[in-house]
């Protein structure tokens, strides 16, 4: 028998709901975009005329046709809304940050387990093409033993934006809890739990209320993983740099899915067409020494970027709800990321390295 379609409500139709959630929910067979919760306006109805428009969150929680609730609202609301959804027996996807504190994250993790529902942090950038490429290089041991990993996600916004909650003075806002969850989650996915963390979390811009730059170093035996972001990077650093005993890999540029969607691209149904590849000029470079005794004789080659595909995040959530797969991004992953971001703040304020313990 075919599995029952999973009714989905996307809560919020700002950047998160409009760009990262509704298009990919709609593109995954087995998921049905049943409703969009938007307090005012009609952008959702115009974009998805077959989805019902709900004006309150409580309507979605009471609706028996909705099985999965996607929280794409301002950061400080994530915990309270996710908790209500879980208590109502709904499966939940929570946009990053998973919660504002590790205590809240742990409570959601525990509550989801008790109620028997899937609780998935939206760490979608595990499905970035550049990250998938790095993961593939490591799995094939192309660089030998890796000693340095650098991950940058930079922006250039020298002037704080007006009239947006993202610039509000709330500990759940700011670059650390905006891009930090992606970078730290990717490092954990590649290397596991670190032994130590050292960080600098800063406000570099003039007249800003939020943390707008950070450098986080995660320490592993024989390896340091650096996660960095700034809003004052007019000339962005490489997205990824890896150094190993056999050579190096360097990749510039961000995954093209977000800019494509912002430019109006339509996401095809999964299984009915390729989504998005990266042009050859954006591929990374692998530099190796074929003979380690002659390190000056290097060979450089372009590495085709694996295709990124956020549809696969939602395909996995579908399969987990239907009981045919484990969640790829588990609630404990969300908890660990938030805990490390909290530790980064402590490390920065106290100027010391902290031992990582969960």
Sketch the domain layout of the chain as residue ranges.
6-125+312-327, 126-308+340-355
pTM above 0.85, yes or no: yes
Topology given in CATH for the domain delimited by 126-308+340-355: Dihydrodipicolinate Reductase; domain 2 (3.30.360)
- Predicted confidence pLDDT, tens digits, the chain (358 residues): 567 899 999 999 998 999 999 999 999 999 999 999 998 877 767 889 999 999 999 999 999 999 999 999 999 999 999 999 999 999 999 999 999 999 999 999 999 999 999 999 999 999 999 999 999 999 999 999 999 999 999 999 999 988 898 898 899 999 999 999 999 999 999 999 999 999 999 999 999 999 999 999 999 999 999 999 999 999 989 999 999 999 999 999 999 999 999 999 999 999 998 898 899 999 999 999 988 888 889 999 999 999 999 999 999 999 999 999 999 999 999 999 999 999 999 999 999 999 999 8
E strands in the chain: 6-11, 31-37, 52-54, 68-71, 91-95, 119-122, 146-152, 196-202, 213-220, 223-230, 240-244, 247-251, 284-288, 299-303, 354-355
Q: What is the CATH number of domain 6-125+312-327?
A: 3.40.50.720
How far is it, in rounded angstroms, from Cα 109 to Cα 335? 8
How far is it, in rounded angstroms, from Cα 50 to Cα 64? 17
How far is it, in rounded angstroms, from Cα 37 to Cα 278? 33
- Cβ atoms of residues 122 and 12 within 8 Å: no
Extract the tokens encoding 64: 């028996």
């Amino acid at each position: 028998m075919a599995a029952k379609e999973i009714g989905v409500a996307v809560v919020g139709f700002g950047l998160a709901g409009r760009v990262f959630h509704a298009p990919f929910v709609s593109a995954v067979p087995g998921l049905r975009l049943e409703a969009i919760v938007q307090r005012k306006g009609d952008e959702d109805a115009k974009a998805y005329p077959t989805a019902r428009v709900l004006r309150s969150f409580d309507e979605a929680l009471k609706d028996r046709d909705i099985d999965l609730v996607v929280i794409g609202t301002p950061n400080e609301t994530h915990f309270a809304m996710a908790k209500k959804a879980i208590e109502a027996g709904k499966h939940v996807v929570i946009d990053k940050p998973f919660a504002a504190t590790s205590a809240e994250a742990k409570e959601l993790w525990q509550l989801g387990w008790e109620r028997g529902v899937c609780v998935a942090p939206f760490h979608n950038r595990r499905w970035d093409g550049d990250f998938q490429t790095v993961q593939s290089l490591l799995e094939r041991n192309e660089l030998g033993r890796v000693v340095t990993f650098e991950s940058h996600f930079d922006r250039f916004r020298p002037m704080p934006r007006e009239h947006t909650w993202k610039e509000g003075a709330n500990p759940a806002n700011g670059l650390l809890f905006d891009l930090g969850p992606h970078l730290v989650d990717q490092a954990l996915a590649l290397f596991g739990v670190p032994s130590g963390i050292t960080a600098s979390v800063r406000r570099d811009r003039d007249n800003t209320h939020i943390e707008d730059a950070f450098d986080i170093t995660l320490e592993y035996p024989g390896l340091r993983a650096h996660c960095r972001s700034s809003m004052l990077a007019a000339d962005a650093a490489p997205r990824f740099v890896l150094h190993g005993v056999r050579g190096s890999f360097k990749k510039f540029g961000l995954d093209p899915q977000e800019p494509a969607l912002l430019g109006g691209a339509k996401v095809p149904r999964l299984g009915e067409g390729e989504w998005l590849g990266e042009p050859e000029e954006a591929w990374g470079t692998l530099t190796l020494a074929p003979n380690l005794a002659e390190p000056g004789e290097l060979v450089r080659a372009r590495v085709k970027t694996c295709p990124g595909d956020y549809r696969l995040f939602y395909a996995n959530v579908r399969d987990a709800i239907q009981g045919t797969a484990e969640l790829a991004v588990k609630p404990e992953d969300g908890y660990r990321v938030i805990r490390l971001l909290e530790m980064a703040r402590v490390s920065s304020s106290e100027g010391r390295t902290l031992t990582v313990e969960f």
